[in-house]
Amino acid sequence: MMAKDFGYIDTILKKYSNPEESLIAVLQDVQGVDGYISRESVEYLTEKTGIPSSRIMGVASFYAGFRLKPVGKYRIMVCMGTACHVNGSQRIGDTVKRVLGIEEGDVTEDGLFSWEEVACLGCCSISPAMMINDTAYGNLTQEKVASIIEKIREEESK
């Protein structure tokens, strides 16, 4: 018996007449609840649907939109596209790493932040840029990045 209640997955599966044919949509729904695709949720999906875990993991690991590790409440994506790169995005990433005290792909101990480098955010006109969840920040400097993160920390501590 698994420790976590996966009843929400049962609800998700009821939406699809053929979960294997709709596997991408099923995984999107699971990630929408958990924030990522956990090993436990894959095992539960296998148990409930008969879809081999290797197939589920194959799909989840193939598509960039799926995350296999938890992310922070604030997911920071630092653009490394050409325009951002030319305008100093590496320094922006270095600043995020320093301010948060974590490596790319990790989550802060308090669960507030995670960060990653991405190929392009489509914010070339305001490069270098980053996104925090659904908010884009552009024309960044190291000071601006530190200030943005500190402001979020202050808001969260209230």
Q: Is the previous residue joined to 19 through a cis bond, with omega within 30 degrees of 0?
A: no
What is the model's pTM?
Answer: 0.74
CB 8 within 8 A of CB 33: yes
- Distance between CA atoms of residues 109 and 94, nearest Å: 19
Which residue is it, tokens 């979020």? 152
Which tokens go with 56?
């589920």
Tens digits of per-residue pLDDT, 28-54?
999 999 889 999 999 999 999 999 999
Q: Where are the domains of the chain?
A: 7-62, 74-156
- Distance between CA atoms of residues 42 and 97, nearest Å: 31
Tens digits of per-residue pLDDT, 112-147?
999 999 999 999 999 999 999 999 999 999 999 999
CATH of 74-156, one of 3.90.1150.10, 2.30.42.10, 3.40.190.10, 3.40.30.10: 3.40.30.10
